[in-house]
C-alpha cells in the first residue's frame, strides 16, 4: 500500500483484552493515525490495527496505550509496528480481473492480450475508482437489457445516468452506432468515463458530463427514448418524476442497482408517473427492471405525477353525474330534460319537469282537423 505522497505505509497492531479497553485504544489510534480498525477475537481479546504514513509507535505512545487500556478496566497485551512493502494494488486487481462474455459484449482489461471472440463487441474497461467493470450482477443485467432493447426498438437518443466507468454508455454507442449522453455526479467518475470512451474509440459518440439528476440543462433539451440508470434504490425512487418528464412517449427505462426486496419501493413512484413494468431481469439477489410508458399517458415539463397505482382516478364531474357515484358509475353528463325518469323528482314524488303537452290545460288543447272527405260529408248533411 502506498500513501498519497508516495512514501511506504506502516502497519501498527495493538492487542487488547476487554471491550471497553479496546474502544479506548481504538479511539486513541484513530485520532493519532487518522485511520484504524478493530477486530474481536476469542476470550475477550481485540486486535486494533492502524496504517499511519510514517512511524508512529514511540515509547511514549506505547505507554499512553497501556495506561488508557488499564484506565478502562482492560490490559494492553502487546503492540508493534512494521513497514509495509509497497504493492501496486491496481495492477494486481487488473490481473485478477478475467475477461467476461456478456451476450454480444466482451469486457476485458488492459492486461488482456488475446483476440476478441468472433462477432463480439469489445469493451476495454479497467478496474478503477469508478463503478462498472461488468463483474457486478447489476452491470451484467444492464448489458443484457441493452442488447434486447436494441433488437426490439432500436433506440436513437440514449441517456446513461450514474455512468461510473462509462461501460453502459460505451456499450450503447458501439451497439447502436449513435451518440450517447453519459452523466455522473462524481467528477472522478467523469474523468474515468472520458478516458474509457477515448480508449474504446467512441470519444466522438459518448458525451460525458458532470450532472446531478435529470434537471441539468443539457438533459432537459430533448426527450430520450432509452434511459439507463444503474445506481441505488433510494435515488432511483426519488428521481422517478424527473426521469418521466425526460422520457419520450415510446421510451424505455432500465433501472438497476436494487435488490429484489426493494422492487416495490422503486416501482411505486414510476407507476404513479405513468410507467409500467415490461420485463424483469434477476441475477442472484439483484434485480433489473425494464419500464415503458403506459399508452395514453405522458408527463410534460412541469406537470404533476399521477396518483400511485391502485388509486382510482375520479373526474371532476363524477359527483354531479345523474347516475350516482362510485367506481362503476358512468361519468357522462346528461341534461335533466333527457333523463330517463323525466328529470329530478320533487318532494311529493312527482316529476319536476314534464313534457310541454302535459302542461297545457285541456280547454286550450287543439282538436284534430278533419280531412277533405269528412268536410264534404258534413256539408251535405247540413
- The residues, any chain, with a CB within 8 Å of residue 96's CB and separated by 6 or more, are none
Q: What is the pLDDT of residue 271?
A: 96
Q: What is the pLDDT of residue 311?
A: 44
Higher pLDDT, 150 or 298: 150
User: Residue 298 — pLDDT band, cuts 50, 70, 90?
Assistant: low
Grid coordinates given for 330: 358512468
The pLDDT > 90 percentage for the chain reads 52
Does pTM surpass 0.85? no
**Alpha carbons 127 and 161: distance in angstroms, whole number:** 19
Grid coordinates given for 161: 445516468
Cα-based torsion angle of the residue sequence 35, 39, 45, 51 in order, rounded to the nearest 10 degrees: -30
Higher pLDDT, 323 or 370: 370
Residue 328 confidence (pLDDT) above 80: no
**Alpha carbons 308 and 273: distance in angstroms, whole number:** 8
pLDDT one-digit tens code per residue, 8-60 = 478 899 999 998 999 999 989 988 887 788 888 887 899 999 988 888 899 99
**CA angle in degrees (0–180, nearest 5) for 48-52-56:** 85
Secondary element (H or E) of residue 95: helix 89-95
Of 115, 117, 135, nearest in space to 125 by CA: 135
pLDDT one-digit tens code per residue, 329-372 = 333 333 343 334 444 444 444 444 344 344 444 444 455 667 77
Residue 2 confidence (pLDDT) above 60: no
Grid coordinates given for 267: 416501482
Q: What is the pLDDT of residue 34?
A: 73
Of 111, 105, 106, nearest in space to 93 by CA: 111
Grid coordinates given for 236: 432511483
The answer to whether the beta carbons of residues 226 and 281 sit under 8 Å apart is: no
DSSP for residue 351 = B
CATH of segment(s) 93-293? 3.40.50.150
DSSP for residue 140 = H
Length of the chain measured in residues: 382
pLDDT one-digit tens code per residue, 121-160 = 999 998 665 667 788 999 999 999 999 999 998 899 999 9
pLDDT one-digit tens code per residue, 301-313 = 444 444 444 444 3
User: Residue 318 — pLDDT band, cuts 50, 70, 90?
Assistant: very low
Could you tell me where the beta strands, DSSP code E, fall in the chain? 10-17, 36-40, 45-50, 75-83, 100-102, 105-108, 121-124, 158-161, 180-184, 206-210, 224-230, 247-259, 275-283, 286-293
**Alpha carbons 57 and 11: distance in angstroms, whole number:** 10
Q: What is the pLDDT of residue 38?
A: 85
pLDDT one-digit tens code per residue, 242-278 = 999 999 999 999 999 999 999 999 999 999 999 999 9
Grid coordinates given for 31: 485520532
Domain boundaries, the chain: 10-83, 93-293
User: Residue 299 — pLDDT band, cuts 50, 70, 90?
Assistant: low
286 - beta bridge partners? Answer: 259, 283
Query: Quick one: fold of 10-83?
Result: Alpha-Beta Plaits (3.30.70)
pLDDT one-digit tens code per residue, 215-244 = 888 888 789 999 999 999 999 999 999 999
Mean pLDDT of all residues in the chain? Answer: 79
- Give the CA distances from residue 76 to residues 41, 68, 81, 374, in Å, rounded to whole numbers and listed in that order: 14, 9, 15, 134
CB atoms within 10 A of CB 331: 13
Amino acid at each position: 500500500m502506498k500513501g498519497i505522497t508516495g512514501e511506504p505505509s506502516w502497519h501498527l497492531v495493538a492487542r487488547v483484552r476487554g471491550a471497553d479497553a479496546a474502544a479506548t485504544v481504538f479511539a486513541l489510534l484513530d485520532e493519532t493515525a487518522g485511520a484504524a480498525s478493530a477486530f474481536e477475537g476469542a476470550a475477550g481479546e481485540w486486535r486494533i490495527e492502524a496504517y499511519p504514513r510514517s512511524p508512529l509507535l514511540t515509547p511514549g505512545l506505547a505507554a499512553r496505550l497501556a495506561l488508557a487500556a488499564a484506565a478502562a478496566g482492560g490490559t494492553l497485551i502487546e503492540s508493534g509496528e512494521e513497514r509495509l512493502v509497497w504493492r501496486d494494488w491496481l495492477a494486481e486487481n487488473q490481473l485478477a480481473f478475467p475477461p467476461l462474455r456478456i451476450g454480444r459484449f466482451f469486457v476485458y482489461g488492459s492486461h488482456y492480450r488475446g483476440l476478441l471472440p468472433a462477432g463480439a463487441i469489445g469493451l476495454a474497461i479497467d478496474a478503477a475508482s469508478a463503478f462498472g467493470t461488468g463483474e457486478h450482477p447489476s452491470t451484467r443485467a444492464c448489458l443484457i437489457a441493452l442488447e434486447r432493447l436494441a433488437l426490439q426498438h432500436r433506440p436513437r437518443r440514449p441517456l446513461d445516468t450514474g455512468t461510473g466507468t462509462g461501460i453502459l454508455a460505451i456499450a450503447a454507442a458501439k451497439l447502436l452506432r449513435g451518440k450517447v449522453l453519459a452523466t455522473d455526479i462524481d467528477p472522478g467518475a467523469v474523468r474515468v468515463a472520458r478516458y474509457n470512451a477515448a480508449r474504446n474509440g467512441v470519444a466522438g459518440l459518448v458525451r460525458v458530463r458532470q450532472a446531478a439528476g435529470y434537471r441539468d440543462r443539457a438533459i432537459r433539451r430533448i426527450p430520450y427514448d432509452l434511459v439507463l440508470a444503474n445506481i441505488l434504490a433510494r435515488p432511483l425512487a426519488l428521481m422517478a418524476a424527473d426521469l418521466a418528464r425526460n422520457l419520450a412517449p415510446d421510451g424505455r427505462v432500465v433501472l438497476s442497482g436494487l435488490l429484489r426486496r426493494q422492487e416495490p419501493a422503486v416501482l411505486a413512484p414510476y407507476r404513479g408517473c405513468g410507467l409500467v413494468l415490461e420485463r424483469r431481469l434477476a441475477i442472484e439477489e439483484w434485480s433489473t427492471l425494464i419500464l415503458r410508458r403506459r399508452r395514453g399517458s405522458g408527463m410534460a415539463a412541469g406537470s404533476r405525477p399521477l396518483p400511485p397505482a391502485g388509486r382510482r382516478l375520479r373526474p371532476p364531474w363524477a359527483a354531479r353525474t345523474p347516475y350516482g357515484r362510485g367506481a362503476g358509475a358512468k361519468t357522462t353528463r346528461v341534461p335533466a330534460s333527457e333523463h330517463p325518469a323525466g328529470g329530478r323528482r320533487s318532494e311529493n314524488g312527482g316529476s319536476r319537469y314534464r313534457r310541454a303537452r302535459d302542461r297545457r290545460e285541456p280547454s286550450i288543447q287543439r282538436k284534430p282537423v278533419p280531412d277533405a272527405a269528412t268536410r264534404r260529408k258534413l256539408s251535405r248533411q247540413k
